Amino acid sequence: MEGSLKPMDAEQLREHAHKMVDFIADYYKSLENFPVLSQVKPGYLSELLPDSAPEHPESLDSILDDVGQKIIPGVTHWQSPNYFAYYPSNSSIAGFLGEMLSAGFNIVGFSWITSPAATELEVIVLDWLAKMLKLPKEFLSSGLGGGVIQGTASEAVLVVLLAARDKFLRKFGKESLSKLIVYASDQTHSALQKACQIAGICPENFRHLKAKQSSNYALGPELLSEAISVDLSAGNIPFFLCGTVGTTSSAAVDPLLELGKIAKAHDLWFHVDAAYAGNACICPEYRHYIDGVENTDSFGMNAHKWLLTNFDCSLLWVKDRSALVKSLSTCPEFLKNKASEEKGVVDFKDWQIPLGRRFRSLKLWMVLRLYGQENLQKYIRNHINLAEQFALLVRSDVRFEVLVPRTFSLVCFRLIPPSDLADNGYKLNYNLMDAVNTSGKIFLSHTVLSGKFVLRFAVGAPLTREKHVREAWRVLQEQANILLENI
């Protein structure tokens, strides 16, 4: 880049962006050559890059050379077809194009007036998705509710917790904060715990109800009822229940129908975290996992996990949008405008923590339009079938066991330890995971269920095919052979 700075010169954009697209396309072509889990050591990058920013411009070519040589070794390749860790975080051409467009406009859409299309498109695509999921009509923007795009499921649960907290404080008085009680199973994502910390709900007021192995780690409604009774007798105020459809450890599904009845009877705010598995519910045959959503107050699902929408795109629906607005709205002089004051528009700044917000609905709109519902359903089904194939492979080897029935595209399994191993196979399975991950051939993650170290194999990367699943199983067996020989 020579001469005067032209940060948004259209012709330079064309030239550089074409180069960048070529670079990214080549990256996707060679993705399988890289170790899935980055193999660098902490601090590796400071040894490769200068101590201070360049005084003078450098060329895009030299920067891209550095990306190839210095950055890519430190990237863990979430889009690799051999990525099976955590839950997926999908990219797609449609999502990528939407991100490009969003970067191109680079608007900051906090109020309707700051880009009416950003707000209105978000309202429309969230209604589309609500219909795809067959959410009750109270979640649609035409009623008192509506949907909003948050950055993450953590932000989603935080904003609804704040809305619920304030609703109860308005009813019982501000001094009752220390009596407000939150309920969720011990399998609930730690995002809820963090939300409680931020919302001033002290740890003693968070009831982590034990989800039993006998219920496949779903929350038992009777446990919830008992806990609520104990709290009521103690003069506490039950106020918030979080159910999960597709827990992070094992994809367990809490029984929304029964939990919803209890929540309704006690007037609790009932939030459902379906960050991962909610995506599967666009398929008619999986929709029953969210039966009972009628009795919830809010429902969240991450389109950026498994719906081909690049990170970040966490969808949240509420039945009563005014509860969010009451908690999160501020209106300083410098943000006042005619449209907001006339109250005929949505200002999404009042539905979220930050003020600024990106034009994220573009990428979801692109995904829905370029792929269509039918293809998205097929995409989900294919991953679930691949996971089932993997589960069958595991079951076909007597040295292994599948620990919970597979529901979506996650398989929880382990190497059965010889009976004389004192740690119940913890180290053996840890070492198996470590060996396959450091081989760079596949990447998977773990959890602990009922004291057992469990390997999690989550199918969901856009490029994963049957051959990758079979090869992953071969790699696991190969490493298991080595470990078992050396016990």
**Which residues of this chain interact with ligand PLP, rule CB under 6 A?**
86-87, 152-154, 189, 191, 244, 246-248, 273, 275-276, 302, 314
CA 2: distance to chain centroid?
42
The smaller minimum CB distance to ligand PLP, of residues 112 and 408, is found at 408
Nearest approach in angstroms of CB 246 to ligand PLP is 6
* Closer of 191 and 387 to ligand PLP (Cβ): 191
| Angle formed at CA 288 by CA 287 and CA 290, multiple of 5 degrees | 80
Torsion angle of the four alpha carbons 247, 251, 254, 257, in this order, in degrees rounded to the nearest 10: 120
Phi-psi region of 216 (alpha: psi -120 to 50; beta: other; left: phi over 0): left
Nearer to ligand PLP, 301 or 346 (CB): 301
The CB-of-234 to ligand PLP minimum distance in angstroms stands at 29
Gap between the Cα atoms of 139 and 184, Å rounded: 22
Q: Which is nearer to ligand PLP, 191 or 459 (CB)?
A: 191
Instruction: Supply the minimum distance, in Å, between the C-beta of residue 188 and ligand PLP.
Output: 8
In angstroms, give the least distance from the CB of 351 to ligand PLP: 16
Q: How far is the CB of 8 from ligand PLP (least distance, A)?
A: 32
Residue nearer to ligand PLP on the CB measure, 82 or 302:
302
**CA proximity to 140, closest of 346, 370, 292:** 346
Choose between 189 and 414: whose C-beta lies nearer to ligand PLP.
189
- Write down the least CB distance from residue 39 to ligand PLP, Å: 24
How many C-beta atoms lie closer than 10 Å to residue 44's C-beta?
A: 13
**Least distance to ligand PLP, CB of residue 157, Å:** 7
Residues ≥6 apart with Cβ < 8 Å to 240: 161, 164, 165, 180, 181, 182, 183, 268, 269, 271
Of 246 and 425, nearer to ligand PLP (C-beta) is 246
Kindly tell me which of 247 and 437 has the beta carbon lying closer to ligand PLP: 247
How far apart are CB 249 and ligand PLP at their closest, in Å? 9
Q: How far apart are the C-alpha atoms of 316 and 324, rounded to whole Å?
A: 11
When the beta carbons of 163 and 275 are compared against ligand PLP, the nearer one is: 275
Q: Which is nearer to ligand PLP, 87 or 112 (CB)?
A: 87
Smallest separation (angstroms) from ligand PLP to the CB of 429: 21
CB of 195 to ligand PLP, least distance (A): 10
- Smallest separation (angstroms) from ligand PLP to the CB of 482: 31
| Amino acid letter for position 53 | A
- Collect all residues with Cβ–Cβ distance below 8 Å to 161 and sequence separation of at least 6: 182, 192, 195, 196, 199, 201, 240, 271
Burial degree of 14 (CB within 10 A; 0-12, 13-18, 19+): exposed
Instruction: Kindly tell me which of 292 and 425 has the beta carbon lying closer to ligand PLP.
Output: 292
Residue whose C-alpha is closest to residue 206's, from 175, 235, 176, 227 = 227
